[in-house]
């Protein structure tokens, strides 16, 4: 009773769905095929319903039912092949016309052949099973094969669509897949038991109802589907599904035949076939040569382009990102070259700008040959004359006298030049292929050229980065040298001042005493500078101690000489590195003297503004513009002096800030400049400063 109700639903719902699709007026090949399947399904459901109600007419009704079943499978299979695809390409393939010819033959045979020659059912009214003759078994076997092919096509369709396109059409694909799966289940009984269990019609009827609802909902709510863009990975997986599905159908057919022949050891034979078939499939999937041949077969028959450039670019980018240094990235590039053509090994040669040679820098499964290619090698001349890839199998370039002739193992078949800024920056030697019978096409050469451009750009970028690191290290050394020269300049300035006054005051005992003190301080400072240079790689450490601010000022003033006025009566103790603050004050006093130019006095004062101390250095010299103070002051290598280094004030700022202090300036052009330094006070046990 339930089966008859479901069949009545099929009879009613299929015409309604056809009407909906006709109103939509979207008459693509896939839509027309699905409409054909619905019409055949409605008619087939009515025939099956009549057979259940009048079992004595089973043979006459099956004369109509079998052609309708062939028509449904035909429509579903070609719907799966044509939906969301460029149908012009499908029609050009021989497989389409072969399948069409087979279906036409089956359909005509099912019409003209009486059902009594295909089925027999001695007691259909009591046991709803249709037993198959040999021709009937062959028909249902072919229908099962096409259903498997159709399901594979649908899997490729769903997996090959973009995520947004997949969301739009997934219900439609699911509906057609459910329909074919239900028919496959209905026909599966024929493979195992050479019979059709009519009780499975209820399952088929439910699948038809659900499939029709899903299909109509998808077309009404989500609209028509988009064009499919098939990827290589999907094709490979579909091939595996197809192969395994065909293998299982073949195994089931053999098993059914063995049972039909009543062979006693049928189970043992099936297990042997299962073991041998599994081993054969494993050999097929693990054979790199067969995989390469299969890819070539796919390229020739299914694709407009052999390579998925997006996939290749992602692989190349991933290889480059995995490398921690230039050497690892070079090996990864060679690995990628080998994977493109399935080569057994490769070697990379790059131009050495110092030696003017092309030296080997990396090898991958390739014996290293340390001999470099000279710039006058015939191979280099060929690349410089013509930017092409040399295939030693097809081309016959004149390589007499080339180092390439002496490289015997492994056999080299391809040489890819690497050009950077229109100059030959290197080349890649590729060893023999795993499948030597594979011939290269223009797409292989295009892929190699693309990979060569990306590879040399990456390698040259890393080589230039290494050179930049060296240049920065040299610049750092130069920067240190500049600071050293600046300190030497300050020391030499003090000694020069001493020599200028020596002729006039050499006989003065006080001058002699000052001269000895100045020379002694200069020696101490030079020794300190040498010690700092020895520990240049170590992080500089400040020797913080409680020292007298006035003493540091007097020492700096004594070093600079000239007319320097010191103001401040308090004894201020500060927590600083005495040598570093001394250098700051010497630099500021020298700058102040040079700014006055006419020997005017330089004023330096100090005091306390709790919890800090301050020092002010003022001159009445040329001053500085607001723009210079804002944009260039305290920046390295910026100066207003003709022969200055431009790092004195930058060094002063670094030293003061290292003491958690501050340095500021007030200046007006042609009026003078005043620098203010804030430094921490030294504390004695409590929070009160020592004064």
617-654: pLDDT as tens digits:
999 888 888 888 877 787 765 565 554 445 678 778 88
Length of the chain in terms of residues written:
691
Contact indicator for 372, 359 with CB cutoff of 8 Å: yes
Tell whether the model's pLDDT for residue 678 goes beyond 90. Answer: yes
pLDDT band of residue 676 (cuts 50, 70, 90) is: very high
Tell whether the model's pLDDT for residue 177 goes beyond 70. Answer: yes
Contact indicator for 54, 4 with CB cutoff of 8 Å: no
Mean pLDDT over 478-486 rounds to 63
129 Cβ neighbours under 8 A, 6+ residues apart: 121, 195, 196, 197, 198
CA distance 440 to 150: 33
pLDDT band of residue 167 (cuts 50, 70, 90) is: low
Lowest-pLDDT range, 26-35, 47-56, 240-249, 569-578? 240-249
Task: Using DSSP, state whether 78 is helix, strand or coil.
Answer: helix
Task: Using DSSP, state whether 259 is helix, strand or coil.
Answer: helix
Lowest-pLDDT range, 111-120, 316-325, 658-667? 316-325
Q: Rounded to the nearest 5°, which phi and psi values hold at 546?
A: -85, 115
Signed CA dihedral, 167, 219, 93, 68: sign only: positive
The CB density around residue 601, as the number of other CB atoms within 10 Å, is 14
Cα distances (Å, whole numbers) of residue 505 to 110, 141, 511, 565, 671: 133, 124, 6, 21, 33
CA distance 148 to 152: 6
Q: What percent of the chain has pLDDT over 70?
A: 71
Strand partners, 451: none
Tell whether the model's pLDDT for residue 166 goes beyond 70. Answer: no
> How would you classify the pairing of strands 672-680 and 357-364?
unpaired
Mean pLDDT over 203-222 rounds to 81
Mean pLDDT over 550-577 rounds to 85
pLDDT at 325: 72
Contact indicator for 592, 602 with CB cutoff of 8 Å: yes
pLDDT band of residue 221 (cuts 50, 70, 90) is: confident
266-323 pLDDT per residue, tens? 555 555 665 666 666 555 555 555 655 555 555 555 444 556 656 666 666 665 555 5
Contact indicator for 652, 673 with CB cutoff of 8 Å: no
Strand partners, 418: 426
Strand partners, 445: none
pLDDT at 506: 78
Strand partners, 360: 349
Which residue has better confidence, 352 or 227?
A: 352
Q: pTM of whole model > 0.85? A: no
pLDDT at 229: 42
CA distance 132 to 114: 13
């Amino acid at each position: 009773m339930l089966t008859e109700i479901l069949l009545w639903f099929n009879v009613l719902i299929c015409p309604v769905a056809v009407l909906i699709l006709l109103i939509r007026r979207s008459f693509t090949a896939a839509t027309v095929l699905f409409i054909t399947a619905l019409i055949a399904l409605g008619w087939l459901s009515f025939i099956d319903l009549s057979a259940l109600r009048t079992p004595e007419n089973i043979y006459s009704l099956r004369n109509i039912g079998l052609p309708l079943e062939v028509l449904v499978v035909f429509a579903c299979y070609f719907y799966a092949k044509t939906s969301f695809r460029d149908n012009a390409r499908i029609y050009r393939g021989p497989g389409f016309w072969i399948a069409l010819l087979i279906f036409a033959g089956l359909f005509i045979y099912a019409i003209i052949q009486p059902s009594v020659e295909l089925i027999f059912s001695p007691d259909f009214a009591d046991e709803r099973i249709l037993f198959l003759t040999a021709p009937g078994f062959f028909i249902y076997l072919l229908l099962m094969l096409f259903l498997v092919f159709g399901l594979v096509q649908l899997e490729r369709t769903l997996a090959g669509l973009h995520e947004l396109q997949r969301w739009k059409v997934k219900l439609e694909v699911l509906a057609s897949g459910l329909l074919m799966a239900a028919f496959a289940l209905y026909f599966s009984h024929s493979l195992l038991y050479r019979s059709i269990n009519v009780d499975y019609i209820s399952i088929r009827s439910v699948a038809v109802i659900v499939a029709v609802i899903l299909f109509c909902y998808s077309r009404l709510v989500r609209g028509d589907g988009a064009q499919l863009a098939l990827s290589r990975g999907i094709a490979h997986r579909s091939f595996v599904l197809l192969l395994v599905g065909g293998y299982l159908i073949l195994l089931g057919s053999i098993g059914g035949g063995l049972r039909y022949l009543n062979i006693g050891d049928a189970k043992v034979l099936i297990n042997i076939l299962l073991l041998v078939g599994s081993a054969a499939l494993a050999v097929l999937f693990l054979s790199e040569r067969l995989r390469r041949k299969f890819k070539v077969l796919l390229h020739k028959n299914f694709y407009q382009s052999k390579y998925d450039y997006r996939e290749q670019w992602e692989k190349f980018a991933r290889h480059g990102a995995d490398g921690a240094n230039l050497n690892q990235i070079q090996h990864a590039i060679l690995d990628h070259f080998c994977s493109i053509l399935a080569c057994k090994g490769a070697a990379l040669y790059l131009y050495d700008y110092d030696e003017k040679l092309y030296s080997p820098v990396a090898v991958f499964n390739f014996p290293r040959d340390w001999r470099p290619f000279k710039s006058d090698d015939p191979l280099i001349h060929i690349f410089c004359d013509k930017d092409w890839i040399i295939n030693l199998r097809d081309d016959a370039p004149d390589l007499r006298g080339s180092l390439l002739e002496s490289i015997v193992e492994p056999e080299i078949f391809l040489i890819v030049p690497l050009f950077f800024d229109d100059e030959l920056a290197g080349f890649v030697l590729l060893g023999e292929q795993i499948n030597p019978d594979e011939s290269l096409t223009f797409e292989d050469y295009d892929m190699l050229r693309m990979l060569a451009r990306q590879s040399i750009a990456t390698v040259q970028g890393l080589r230039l980065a290494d050179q930049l690191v060296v240049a920065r290290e040299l610049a750092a050394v130069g920067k240190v040298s500049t600071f050293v020269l600046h300190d030497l300049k300050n020391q030499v300035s003090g000694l020069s001042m001493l020599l200028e006054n020596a002729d006039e005051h050499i006989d003065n005992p006080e001058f002699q005493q000052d001269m000895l003190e100045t020379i002694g301080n200069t020696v101490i400072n030079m020794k300190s500078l040498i010690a700092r240079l020895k520990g240049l790689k170590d992080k500089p450490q400040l020797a913080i101690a409680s020292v007298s601010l006035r003493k540091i000022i007097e020492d700096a003033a004594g070093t600079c000489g000239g007319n320097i006025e010191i103001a401040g009566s308090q004894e201020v103790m500060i927590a600083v590195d005495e040598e570093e603050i001394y250098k700051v004050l010497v630099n500021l006093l020298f700058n102040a003297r040079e700014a006055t130019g006419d020997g005017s006095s330089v004023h330096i004062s100090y005091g306390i503004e709790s919890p800090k101390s301050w020092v002010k250095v003022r001159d009445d010299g040329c001053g500085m513009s607001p723009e210079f103070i804002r944009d260039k002051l305290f920046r390295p290598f910026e100066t207003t002096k003709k022969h200055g280094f431009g790092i004195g004030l930058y060094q002063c700022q670094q030293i003061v800030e290292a003491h958690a202090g501050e340095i500021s300036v007030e200046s007006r052009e042609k009026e003078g400049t005043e620098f203010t330094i804030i430094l921490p006070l030294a504390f004695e046990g409590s929070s009160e400063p020592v004064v």
